[in-house]
């Protein structure tokens, strides 16, 4: 993962025009949640990928275009699902509240 910068993850070195990016941060209130897991599920609910959050609660996926579900799993929290649409040439920013 890239290092976190104020306002989110750095996109230095990423050619956004050629990628469909889903990224964001997991928060409990206003506190970032590190070591949570964010899963990327396709339109049918099939598991596609999983990443741990950084110490600052950030995560990133390079996805195909279309609709996705982010399933966030964190200690002492119920799983949280967020629907997101990925498109080449854009960054879908998601804040996950647990």
Domain holding 61, by residue range, is 15-97
What is the chain's length? 98
User: pLDDT tens across 6-53, in order?
Assistant: 456 777 777 777 889 999 999 999 999 999 999 999 999 999 999 999
Calpha distance 45→95 (Å, rounded) = 20
> Where residue 24 sits, what CATH number does that domain have?
2.60.40.10
Is 10 part of a structural domain of the chain? Answer: no
Q: In what order do the strands lie in the sheet with 47-52?
A: 47-52, 37-41, 66-73, 80-86
Q: Is the pLDDT of residue 4 over 50?
A: no
Calpha distance 73→70 (Å, rounded) = 10
């Amino acid at each position: 993962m890239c290092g976190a910068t104020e306002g989110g993850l750095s996109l230095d070195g990423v050619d956004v025009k050629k990628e469909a990016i889903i990224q964001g941060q997991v928060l409990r209130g206003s506190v970032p949640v590190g070591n949570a897991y964010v899963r990327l599920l396709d339109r049918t609910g099939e598991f596609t990928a999983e990443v741990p959050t950084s110490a600052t609660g950030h995560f990133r996926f390079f996805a195909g275009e279309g609709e996705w579900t982010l399933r966030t799993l964190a200690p002492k929290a119920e799983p949280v699902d967020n629907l997101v649409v990925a498109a080449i040439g854009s960054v879908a920013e998601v804040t996950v509240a647990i």
